């Protein structure tokens, strides 16, 4: 199989936008298309140009201002409507007006859909498929035929489902993509059905696979189809799509290249897949799924002490691939489950030096366990963990001393708006600083006041910004008296870091996380 090349067909711009909570602007689509092209995708399905102005605007922008390096832009649509001629069908006309060289059109291959959705005869549907493919071919377009609901159609009426794809191929489609549109087909069925197709048709019948994830089998079904001879695979970045999503290209692509040993990307591009996953999730305004295989932040993260001890001796003990292959990285977590190996690995990861490993790791583990009993978790708070290490080993030196702070929140009667103000009094090397600052909410006011007080002593803090703020109630059963965990992510020009605070008082928890964020930055600069 190593001599075979698999074509990658990305449908993120269309299928992905059908995911609940995702809406791409025309500008968003252009950005994603450029990223997909840079990554090495073969076909980018831009949308359905005859269905809405947003899709039409995208194709106009791409034709006018964007030149793709490798990828082929594809216009999507359906076969002509019942009773129409192909020449007078608005859907097909929209595809032609998109001015792309490639078209992907779907047609019914399940007799149930033909009868109940189209309300057409089985023969009429075959004519619609044939007319549509021939029309687009006459317009000098390369046509991929998406056999919608093919696997359900095959199980219901094998002869008719096979006839639909035979008609499309004979009409001129260069690829027949088999669609598991309801996402309920099992991997074994995929194998059996594609085997049946190969027995019924000659070798020059190139197949593709388009799988939905309603039974959590979309990736597996895609891989099975490729092993059975499919030469084109459709999917979306991060598996975005309607209902439970589409086949996830971020899992499919590494499986093809690493597990099957088949090329589908230009040389060296696989390492960019984690970055691409994060980039698309950022544009989609979707929080990345941390446990996503290959590209997720926790895909190569180890917490149990036994696991960490093993991977330090040999990474293959608990990792199926080297994370570097997909542009990801190994992480070790510190928790109540941690052992000496976790601590030493984390210290190495954070470039923290210790003299006596056995004594130091014991002290750090004891401190972590005590803090986790109070509600702290250091999995996403490396900066707070670094400070905890210094405190555990007696190396901690504060850069300032808090004397007092107050936060005032009031509703202004003249505007009805909420107003937040923070007053801080602290000491830096014996010098008392007393400042007041306003903010959009109490935590922002506190952050502004703290920075205002410290920046004259530590001007490097001017380049620090708060990039994320998360609040979690640890025990909701006690209502508003519950312990609150605050996680803050900060960044400067070079990197980002996480800090944590825990308290029954959300302001106190926020203060702890804010102070750790500031002190970590000063600690970094002091080490320089």
Quote the pLDDT of residue 109.
Answer: 97
Quote the pLDDT of residue 355.
Answer: 61
Tokens for 333, please give them.
Answer: 């977590």
Give the pLDDT confidence of 190-230 residue by residue, as tens digits: 999 999 999 999 778 899 999 999 999 999 999 999 999 99
Q: Which CATH number fits domain 374-399+462-528: 3.30.750.24, 3.30.160.340, 3.30.2270.10, 3.40.50.720?
A: 3.30.160.340
pLDDT at 338 over 60: no
Q: Which CATH number fits domain 7-284: 3.20.20.70, 3.30.1650.10, 3.40.50.2300, 3.40.50.720?
A: 3.20.20.70
Please report, for the chain, the start and end positions of each structural domain, with discontinuous segments joined by +: 7-284, 301-373, 374-399+462-528, 400-457
Question: Which of 257-261, 301-305, 515-519 has the lowest average pLDDT?
Answer: 301-305
Quote the pLDDT of residue 11.
Answer: 98
- CB-based contact 364:371 (threshold 8 Å): no
Percentage above 70 pLDDT, the chain? 91
In total, the chain counts a number of residues equal to 528
- CB-based contact 4:262 (threshold 8 Å): yes
Q: When comparing pLDDT for 361 and 429, which is higher?
A: 429
User: Which string of DSSP letters, residue by residue, matches 362-425?
Assistant: HHHHHHHHHHHHTT---TT-HHHHHHHHHHHTT----S-EEEEEEEEEEE-TTT--EEEEEEEE
Mean pLDDT for all residues in the chain: 89
Instruction: Report d(CA 367, CA 496) in Å as an integer.
Output: 25
pLDDT at 6 over 90: yes
Quote the pLDDT of residue 314.
Answer: 73
- CB-based contact 347:372 (threshold 8 Å): no
Phi-psi region of 429 (alpha: psi -120 to 50; beta: other; left: phi over 0): left
Quote the pLDDT of residue 285.
Answer: 86
Q: Which CATH number fits domain 400-457: 3.90.78.10, 3.30.565.10, 3.40.50.1820, 3.30.160.740?
A: 3.30.160.740
Which residues are bridge partners to 223 per DSSP? Answer: none
Instruction: Report d(CA 170, CA 119) in Å as an integer.
Output: 25
- CB-based contact 46:68 (threshold 8 Å): no
Q: What is the DSSP letter of 231?
A: -
Instruction: Report d(CA 335, CA 333) in Å as an integer.
Output: 6
Q: When comparing pLDDT for 246 and 63, which is higher?
A: 246
pLDDT at 484 over 70: yes
Confidence band for 29, pLDDT divided at 50, 70 and 90: very high
Instruction: Report d(CA 3, CA 27) in Å as an integer.
Output: 38
CA 275 to the chain's CA centroid: 9
**374-399+462-528 and 400-457 share one fold:** yes
Confidence band for 352, pLDDT divided at 50, 70 and 90: low
507: nearest Cα among 451, 452, 444, 443:
443
């Amino acid at each position: 199989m190593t001599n075979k090349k698999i074509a990658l067909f990305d449908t993120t711009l269309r299928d992905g936008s059908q995911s609940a909570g995702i809406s791409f602007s025309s500008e968003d689509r252009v950005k994603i298309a450029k990223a997909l092209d840079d990554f090495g995708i073969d076909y980018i399905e831009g949308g359905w140009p005859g269905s809405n102005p947003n899709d039409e605007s995208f194709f106009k922008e791409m034709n006018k201002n964007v030149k793709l390096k490798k990828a082929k832009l594809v216009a999507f649509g359906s076969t002509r409507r019942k009773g129409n001629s192909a020449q007078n069908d608005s859907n097909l006309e929209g595809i032609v007006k998109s001015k792309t060289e490639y078209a992907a059109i779907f047609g019914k291959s399940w007799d149930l859909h033909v009868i109940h959705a189209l309300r057409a005869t089985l023969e009429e549907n075959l004519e619609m498929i044939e007319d549509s493919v021939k029309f687009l071919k006459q317009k000098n377009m390369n046509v991929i035929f998406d056999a919608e609901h093919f696997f359900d159609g095959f199980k219901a009426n094998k002869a008719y489902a096979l006839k639909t794809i035979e008609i499309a191929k004979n009409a001129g489609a260069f690829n027949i993509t088999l669609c598991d549109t309801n996402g309920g087909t099992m991997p074994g069925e995929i194998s059996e059905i594609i085997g049946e197709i190969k027995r019924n048709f000659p070798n020059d019948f190139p197949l593709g696979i388009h799988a939905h994830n309603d039974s959590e089998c979309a990736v597996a079904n895609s891989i099975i189809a490729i092993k059975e001879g499919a030469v084109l695979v459709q999917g979306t970045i991060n598996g975005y799509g309607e209902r439970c999503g589409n086949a996830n290209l971020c899992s499919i692509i590494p499986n093809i290249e690493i597990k099957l040993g088949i090329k589908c990307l230009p040389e060296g591009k696989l390492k960019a897949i984690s970055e691409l996953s994060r980039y698309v999730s950022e544009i989609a305004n979707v929080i990345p799924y941390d446990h996503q295989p290959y590209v997720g932040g926790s895909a190569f993260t180890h917490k149990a002490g036994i696991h960490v001890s093993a991977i330090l001796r040999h990474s293959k003990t608990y990792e199926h691939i080297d994370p570097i292959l997909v542009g990801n990285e190994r992480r070790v977590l510190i928790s109540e489950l941690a052992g000496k190996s976790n601590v030493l690995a984390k210290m190495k990861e954070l470039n923290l030096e210790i003299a006596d490993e056995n004594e130091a790791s014991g002290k750090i583990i004891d401190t972590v366990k005590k803090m986790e009993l109070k509600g702290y978790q250091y999995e996403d708070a490396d900066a707070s963990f670094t400070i905890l290490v210094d405190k555990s080993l007696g190396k901690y030196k504060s850069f300032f001393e808090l004397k007092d702070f107050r936060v005032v929140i009031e509703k202004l009667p003249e505007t009805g708006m909420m107003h937040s103000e923070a007053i801080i009094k602290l000491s830096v090397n014996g010098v008392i600083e007393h400042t007041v600052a306003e903010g959009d909410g109490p935590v922002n006011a506190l952050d502004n006041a703290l920075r205002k007080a410290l920046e004259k002593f530590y001007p490097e803090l001017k380049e620090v910004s708060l990039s994320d703020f998360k609040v979690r109630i640890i025990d909701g059963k006690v209502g508003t008296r519950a312990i609150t965990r605050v996680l803050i992510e900060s960044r400067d020009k070079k990197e980002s870091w996480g800090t944590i605070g825990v308290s029954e008082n959300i302001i106190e928890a926020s203060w702890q996380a804010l102070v750790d964020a500031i002190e970590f930055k000063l600690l970094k600069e002091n080490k320089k």
